[in-house]
Amino acid sequence: MKENQVLQFWNGIFPFLIFYALAYFSTYGLIGLFPEVEPMVMQGVAQIIFIVSMMVWLKNKQKKDKIMEELTKSDLLEKKVIHQGGYLQFPKHKMIIVFCVMVISMLFSMALNQLIDASNLKELSPAFQAVSSSIYEPGKIQILICVGLIAPAYEELMFRGVLFGQLRKSYSFLFCAVTSGLIFGGLHLNLVQFVYAFAMGYLFAFFMEESGSVWFSIIAHVVANITSLMTTWLGSASWMFDHVLLSLLVAFVEGILGIMLLNWIKKRFKLLK
C-alpha cells in the first residue's frame, strides 16, 4: 500500500521535476553562453522557451485525456479528466470576475508585504536582501517585462499547471495547494520569499481550482508581482512602515476585503460550472 502511495506521488511530481531541471540548466547555460547580456534577460528568454514547451505539453495532455474520456465514461475518470491538462483552456468568464481576481491578488500582495515589512523577517534573511538588490538593478522596463509578465506566466505553468495539476489527479485540493505552495516558496531559497510565495501560491492554486483554468492564476500572479514592483518604486507605502500599528491595521483591512471578495467570487465560479 505504501509503495503504491509513493509511486502515485512520484508520478505526480515527476513531470515538474523534469521541466524544472531542464529550465534551471537552460537558464544558466544561456547566461554562460552570453555573459555580455544582462542575466535577467537571458533568464526571461529561457522562461519564454519553457512557457511554450509547457503549454504544448499541457495541450497534448488535454487531447489524450479527451480521448480517454470518450473511451471510458466512468464518473471517476470524468472527475479526474478536469485535472489532466484541461487547466490550459482559456477562461470565458465575465470581466467583473477577472477584475475581482486582480483586486484580490493586489489586496493580498499588499497585505503580505506590509506584514513582512512590519516584522523582522527581512533582517533575518540576508539572502533576501541580496536577491532583492539584484532584482532592482536593471532598468525598470526590463524588470517590468521579466519580473512582472514573463516570470509569473512561467511560474504558474510550472507550479500550478504542471505540479498542482498532476498532483490534483490523485490528491485533495488542500494537499496539492499546500505541497505546490511549499515547493514554490522553498525554491526561492530565502525566508521572506518563502513566506510570501507560499501564501500567494495557495491563493493562485485556489483561483486555478475554482475557475478550472491556469490563466486566472497567471493573471493573479502578474498583478501581485507588478503591485510589489510599483509599491517599491513609488514608495507609496513607505510612510506606513515607520508606524507598525498603522501598517498592521491597513494590512488587516486589506485582508478582510480580500476574504470578502474571495467568498463572493467562489459563489460566482460555482454558478458558472
Task: Specify the pLDDT at position 82.
Answer: 45
Q: Any idea which of 85-94, 101-110, 144-153, 256-265 has the lowest mean pLDDT?
A: 85-94
Whole-number Å distance between alpha carbons of 14 and 37:
32
Whole-number Å distance between alpha carbons of 176 and 182:
10
Task: Specify the pLDDT at position 265.
Answer: 92
The residue-averaged pLDDT of 186-190 equals 94
The residue-averaged pLDDT of 60-68 equals 76
Whole-number Å distance between alpha carbons of 241 and 141:
26
Whether 76 has a pLDDT exceeding 50, the answer reads: no
Task: Specify the pLDDT at position 268.
Answer: 87
Whether 172 has a pLDDT exceeding 90, the answer reads: yes
- Cβ–Cβ < 8 Å for 142, 41: yes
Residue 210 makes CB contacts below 8 A (sequence gap 6+) with: 216, 265, 266, 269, 270
- 126 grid coordinates: 540576508
- 202 grid coordinates: 495557495
Whether 79 has a pLDDT exceeding 50, the answer reads: no
Q: With residue 183 as reference, give the H or E element that holds it.
A: helix 173-186
The residue-averaged pLDDT of 255-269 equals 93
Whole-number Å distance between alpha carbons of 47 and 140:
19
Higher pLDDT, 185 or 246: 185
Sole residue written with cell 470565458: 92
Q: pTM for this one? A: 0.90
% residues pLDDT > 90 (the chain) = 60
Instruction: Kindly report the average pLDDT of the chain as a whole number.
Output: 87
- The string of DSSP letters for 249-262 reads HHHHHHHHHHHHHH
- Cβ–Cβ < 8 Å for 169, 12: yes
Whether 56 has a pLDDT exceeding 70, the answer reads: yes
Residue 146 makes CB contacts below 8 A (sequence gap 6+) with: 40, 41, 43, 44, 138
Q: What is the pLDDT of residues 108-120, one digit of tens each?
A: 999 999 898 888 7
Sole residue written with cell 467568498: 263
Task: Specify the pLDDT at position 14.
Answer: 95
- Cβ–Cβ < 8 Å for 188, 197: yes
Whether 244 has a pLDDT exceeding 70, the answer reads: yes
Task: Specify the pLDDT at position 186.
Answer: 96
Q: What is the pLDDT of residues 130-168, one digit of tens each?
A: 888 778 777 889 999 999 999 999 999 999 999 999 999
Q: How confident is the model at residue 2 (pLDDT cuts 50, 70, 90)?
A: low
Whole-number Å distance between alpha carbons of 57 and 111:
35
The residue-averaged pLDDT of 89-93 equals 67
Higher pLDDT, 195 or 129: 195
Indicate if the alpha-carbon torsion angle 253, 91, 183, 51 is positive or negative.
Answer: negative
